[in-house]
A and B are shown apart, each in its own frame.
Chain A
Amino acid sequence: MASRRDFLKRALAGSAAVAGAATCTDASARGNAQISPDAVGLLFDSTLCIGCKACVAACKDANGLPLDYATPIEAAWDVPVDTTAKTFNVIKAYVDGSGMHKDQVQDGYAFMKSSCLHCVDPSCVSACPVSAMTKDPVTGIVGYDPDACIGCRYCVAACPFGIPKYDYDSPTGKIGKCELCRHRLPEGKYAACAEVCPTGATLFGKVSELKAEAKRRLALTPGAETTWPRGNLTTGDQPSWNGPAPVYVQHIYGEKEVGGTQMLKLAAVPFDKLGHRPLPERSFSSQSETLQHTLYGGLVLPLAVLGAMTWVAKRNVKHDDEGGDHD
């Protein structure tokens, strides 16, 4: 029975070490990341979008992207139905029944922009093993570096909005996604999609100002005449226009979802009908990183287990070697 007692003793010693290590790494739990005060983003108002897709073309232009065909037949224009490695921005349509009335659930239609939401606590950045996806500490823009990327597509699978895409048709395929036109910012320009939007449905600006604008809109009395800014909300570079307020769904999509996003969305049709599933407020990356840091923070737990294992193995292997010497 000696071996059984030994076994118990070892198991106890091991679990004591493990438990000790686990308690001292508890401090590693982290909540959602906080937004930078200078973060920039977009406000998309579905009720203002007329589906002209000027932003889709402007995005291609600004990013030097080729045509993308949704059907095998090559037409003279490109008709992407979803974001791809070569299309960073699409306008999707919701249609019901006869599709006659704008922003109506029944027999109506509505538009929704699909491009990176520049999450405050992005899953893609947390997932990327080689820091190819990064979040700018000041602007909060989530950028991609193909020279660092290993093409594992963990970001593609992890993004809760299905945004980053990989180019499977190329032996040297890259990930493609909106980087909020970060290459245009140093030139004094801003997001091309917002710049060309004729109605101000896509608006660029500081997230804090965009959020205030979104709240102003939700508080409007339906039908009341109001001012609609266009282009860059922060600099006011384009003239605004006047028109009546719609009946909004009282929800700013992106204010709380997965810890908040720097692209905010307003609509008159419920968001789940516009391809936006309800999401929890706790970011998935904070859950994943809390788990990782609890288990591996400072390598305390693995080293404690390794220590226990080495101690036990040393005794048992020696005994094993004695037997082995007889060969």
Chain B
Amino acid sequence: MTKHAHAAPAPVGGRLLSPVTFVLGVLILAALAILAVRFVYGLGTVTNLNDGYPWGIWVVADVVIGSAFACGGFSVAMLVYIFNKGEYHPLVRPALLASLFGYTLAGVGVLFDLGRWWNFWHILAPGYASPNSVMFEVAACISLYIVVMWIEFSPTFFEKWGMKDARRKVNKAMFFFIALGTVLPMMHQSSLGSLLVVFGTQIHPLWQSIVLPLIFLISAITMGYAVVLFESCLAAAGYRRTIEMHLLTPLSKIMLGMLGVFLAVRFGDLIVRGALGYAFEGSVQAAMFWLETACFVAPFVLLRAQAARRNPARLFVAGALLMLGGVLLRINAFLVGYDTGEGWSYFPSVPEMLVTFGMFAIEILAYIVITRRFPVLPREDAVHGAH
């Protein structure tokens, strides 16, 4: 078996206060203020939600998209531990960190959106919980996964605080948590698609399908790799570190492979259901479908050549476009393709968007603070060819 000598993770160090963290802080404060108003006066005062569009961006962006962005940890862990690609090990911790915050915030974000949030515990309480409901499955799985991820990430804290014993104990059982950590996201990422099945004909045929769970799952895994490319490039630029091209180049190839599978399933399903014709109608839905598809196809064009895959800028753009494709797939399926009857419309209000920005700001800020203070990213001087 190949053994990979990796640089051990180490804190990046440096100052926490910078123009970037300041802006993030301001965004977070604004979101908190808006949320205070929401909890005192109700959802209607800050959101544009209505009875024709009872779900807005707090559900679709903060939870459905937020958790898909957070699939980096799951995608990379699967690569390393299930498919035994040990060489990608240095990517596990940073990816897991981003996932940890993505999911934890998605979980908290749900509370903001719940109209009767003080009853939230009912969803896991026997006597209330309804296993027939897709949302029950999503909630149960995400809650459990958040716990599992904190356990997976705990060695980082134990290392920092010198808790050798605790670290050893957790590591003993780690294989089981890693396995759980791959199964749980498979379950809820697919179920996030299944949520729409019960909406029936209210969802446009370009998005309503019995294989929605598969489409959502594969796209989430693909997005997981895209997020890792995106994050690694960003972290390298932000911290003036060397980009781990020796890992990102082959990773981008895996990403394209998954993307190929995704497109085959997506179009195969449209053709089998005879729904592809809707893509050629002169409708908003058709236009959005092609925009979504273009974002999924673009990485193939951008990263066609081996040389292109060695170009960090290309990897970054391809990763970003793929993420955008995943975003559009979700917005299209949940909002653009949703039609409950004439006369309803929805576009998020400014306060609604500010809360969503605030949520993403918390994630980025936490990532910065933790990577600067805790051993997450590989030690720089040990990275091959560091200058």
Residues of A within 8 A of B89 (CB): 320, 323
- Which of these binds chain A: B19-27, B94-102, B130-138, B356-364? B130-138
Minimum CB–CB distance from B211 to chain A (whole Å) comes to: 10
Residues of A within 8 A of B151 (CB): none
Contact of A162 among B127, B186, B340 (CB under 8 A): B340
| Assembly CA distance A288 to B195 (angstroms) | 8
| Assembly CA distance A202 to B107 (angstroms) | 45
Contact with A along B270-282 (1 / 0, CB 8 A): 0000000000000
Contact of A312 among B45, B81, B342 (CB under 8 A): B81
| Assembly CA distance A157 to B89 (angstroms) | 42
Contact of B341 among A126, A162, A295 (CB under 8 A): A162
Inter-chain contact B82/A312, CB cutoff 8 Å: yes
Inter-chain contact B200/A287, CB cutoff 8 Å: yes
Minimum CB–CB distance from B178 to chain A (whole Å) comes to: 5
Inter-chain contact A7/B84, CB cutoff 8 Å: yes
Contact with B along A11-42 (1 / 0, CB 8 A): 00000000000000000000000000000000
Nearest CB in chain B to that of A85: its residue: B51
Inter-chain contact A284/B137, CB cutoff 8 Å: no
Minimum CB–CB distance from A168 to chain B (whole Å) comes to: 3
Residues of B within 8 A of A295 (CB): 187, 190, 213
Given contacts A153-B55, A287-B198, A292-B134, contact A319 B1 (CB under 8 A): yes
Given contacts A129-B136, A316-B81, contact A160 B54 (CB under 8 A): no
| Assembly CA distance A128 to B186 (angstroms) | 22
B264 at the interface (CB under 8 A from A): no
Residues of A within 8 A of B116 (CB): 146, 149-151, 172-174
B6 at the interface (CB under 8 A from A): yes
- B182-217 contacts to A (CB < 8 Å): 182-183, 186-187, 190, 194-195, 197-202, 210, 213
Inter-chain contact B137/A291, CB cutoff 8 Å: no
A228 at the interface (CB under 8 A from B): no
Contact with B along A270-287 (1 / 0, CB 8 A): 000001010110001101
Residues of B in contact (CB 8 Å), total 76
Inter-chain contact A313/B81, CB cutoff 8 Å: yes
- Which of these binds chain B: A102-110, A235-243, A248-256, A302-310? A302-310
A148 at the interface (CB under 8 A from B): yes
B297 at the interface (CB under 8 A from A): no
B161 at the interface (CB under 8 A from A): no
Contact with B along A101-128 (1 / 0, CB 8 A): 0000000000000000000000100111
Minimum CB–CB distance from A27 to chain B (whole Å) comes to: 16
Minimum CB–CB distance from A178 to chain B (whole Å) comes to: 15
A6 at the interface (CB under 8 A from B): yes
Given contacts A168-B49, A171-B40, 8 further A-B contacts (CB under 8 A): A148-B128, A152-B115, A157-B340, A168-B44, A172-B42, A313-B182, A320-B89, A323-B89
28 interchain pairs, CB-CB under 8 A? A126-B132, A127-B135, A129-B133, A129-B135, A130-B119, A130-B136, A148-B122, A148-B128, A149-B119, A151-B114, A152-B113, A162-B51, A168-B50, A171-B40, A171-B42, A172-B116, A277-B201, A284-B199, A306-B179, A309-B180, A312-B81, A312-B179, A316-B80, A319-B84, A320-B89, A323-B3, A323-B4, A323-B89
The 6 closest A-B pairs by CB, nearest first: A151-B115, A168-B44, A151-B116, A284-B200, A309-B179, A153-B54
